[in-house]
Amino acid sequence: MTPLGAAVLVAAGFTATGPAAPATAAVPSTIPLTVTNNSGRGEPLYVYNLGTELSTGRQGWADANGTFHPWPAGGNPPTPAPDASIPGPATGRSATIRMPKFSGRVYFSYGQKLVFRLTTGGLVQPAVQNPSDPNRDILFNWSEYTLNDSGLWINSTQVDMFSAPYAVGVKRADGTTASTGHLKAGGYQGFFTALRTHPGGWANLVQTRPDGTVLRALAPGHGIETGGLPASVMDDYIDRVWRKYGSATLTVTPFADRPGTRYFGRVSGTTMNFTNGAGAVVTSFQKPDSDSVFGCYKRLDAPNDQVRGPISRTLCAGFNRSTLLVNASQPDTGSAAFYQDAVTNQYAKEIHARTADGTAYAFAFDDVGHHESLVNDGNPQQAYLTLDPLS
């Protein structure tokens, strides 16, 4: 298990930045979240709203009324957390709860309650790449959101795993609704079928119950962690990128609203150095490994600054989408060239191919170029979580 902290959405490439709410429309302390169960499944549904209270920085959970409850002190070894579950609607029905001003997650599980524990550092959350995790055989998923004084940002995420499908939405002040996350018809089962056709360990990302029931596919970084996916799976592509930019220049324009801010990358040995327009080196990256690429961390660390982080985000997206060899000016403005190389993030490729609107959070910085499954509004009237069939 891993700690659930205030930066969970940042770690998933989901940052609470955007237009401020209109001065005449202050965001209330809670907004309604309607959960609609279209799964067709007969088991009980459990819903959880966990996160960080933005006004205090305290970690805790919200009940169905949106009332915040701080977690009690944990222990070492971890101690059981209070039962934060909210009974969810039966299939074919909806239920409405309240969302407070959180940076957090809305979990849902079918058939069994999730197991949460507390350490001295706070909440630990399910980490099903660990075969001994108590949630390993439970069918569950989660959405990530931030609700603050500037509005609501809510996404569907596959950064850690692809599992029980759902969509998110927001109702705007003018009565219109924006949503994202739905799969194409047959997309859920089609994803697992497609993943299993890719040689080289990709099929090993799929987790099943002992009876063979498919539960999820782990993200490829977790696949490397568990040994199911070879640690060298992206090496050939990484090597080719390093060779290309030993004699060519990679131009990164990380801010769409600042086209004049550009950085220029060239490889020397095992290092890619980026210079600014004056020729000064502003940051350098050691040649990444596959895990760095999939996780957008380690050798592709992306601090929350104005130089290294934005460059790293762009590099990470280009590696996962395998576009760095076909486009020396990053990020890409369209998606036509994504995932076309034989060496690519097959997990991300197959997810994007099956979402109804083509967007997803299949890796941490899938928002580069606005290919993420995210909706936001500065004056949200209501949020939606719609659970779809596993078909």
Residue type, 276: N
Catalytic status, residue 144: yes
Active-site residue (options: 53, 63, 160, 174)? 160
Burial of 349 per CB tally in 10 Å (0-12, 13-18, 19+):
buried
How far lies 329's CA from each of 85, 244, 301, 322, 352, in Å?
47, 13, 21, 13, 22
Phi and psi, residue 328, nearest 5°: -85, 5
Short-list 35, 39, 38, CA closest to 143: 35
Q: Is the backbone peptide bond immediately before 77 cis, with ω within 30 degrees of 0? A: yes
Residue 279 has which token pair? Answer: 């020729």
Burial of 119 per CB tally in 10 Å (0-12, 13-18, 19+):
middle
Active-site residue (options: 133, 137, 144, 236)? 144
Q: 10 Å Cβ neighbour count for 150?
A: 18
Q: What is the DSSP string of 206-246?
A: EEE-TT--EEEEE-HHHHHHHTSS-TTTTHHHHHHHHHHTT
- Could you give the CA distance from residue 377 to residue 150 in angstroms, rounded to a whole number? 8
Catalytic status, residue 160: yes
Helix (H, G, I), strand (E, B) or coil at 193: helix
- Beta-bridge mates of residue 87: 46
Mutual orientation of helices 235-244 and 308-321 as an angle, nearest 10°?
A: 120
Contacts 24+ apart (CB under 8 A), 184-191: 184/354, 184/355, 184/356, 185/391, 186/391, 187/354, 187/355, 187/356, 188/354, 188/388, 188/389, 188/390, 188/391, 189/390, 189/391, 190/354, 191/162, 191/217, 191/350, 191/351, 191/354
Positions marked catalytic: 144, 160
